[in-house]
């Protein structure tokens, strides 16, 4: 299993739009084959910064999701709201 964390910083004018948008898509993400868990987090000190925190059965499942029509369409819509380039990390759990 891998953990995927994506940091996204949004423009002030777009953060609320993102919050509403993500409420409508998070369950679709959760339903993807290989997705074990997804959370959307908002930084407590900077409300423009959000993180996705997800568990995937393997990198292959994550990559299949990232190549899906759903992801491509969702990411295309989301990236128009970014203030900074997003950052992403994938981890193997040690303990």
CATH number at residue 36: 3.30.70.100
Its domain, for residue 85, covers 2-92
Predicted pLDDT of residue 29: 97
Sign for the CA dihedral angle at 17, 20, 26, 29 comes to negative
Instruction: State residue 91's pLDDT score.
Output: 97
Question: Each residue's pLDDT tens digit in the chain (95 positions)?
Answer: 999 999 999 999 999 999 999 999 999 999 999 999 999 999 999 999 999 999 999 999 999 999 999 999 999 999 999 999 999 999 998 99
Contact 18/80 with Cβ under 8 angstroms?
A: no
State the pTM of this model: 0.94
pLDDT value, residue 46: 97
């Amino acid at each position: 299993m891998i953990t995927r964390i994506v940091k996204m910083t949004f423009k002030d004018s777009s953060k609320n739009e993102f919050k509403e948008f993500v409420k409508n898509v998070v369950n679709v993400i959760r339903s993807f084959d290989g997705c074990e868990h997804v959370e959307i987090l908002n930084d407590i000190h900077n409300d423009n910064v959000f993180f996705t925190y997800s568990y995937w059965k393997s990198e292959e499942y994550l990559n299949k999701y990232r190549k899906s029509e759903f992801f491509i369409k969702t990411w295309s819509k989301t990236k128009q709201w970014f203030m900074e380039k997003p950052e992403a990390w994938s981890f193997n759990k040690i303990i």
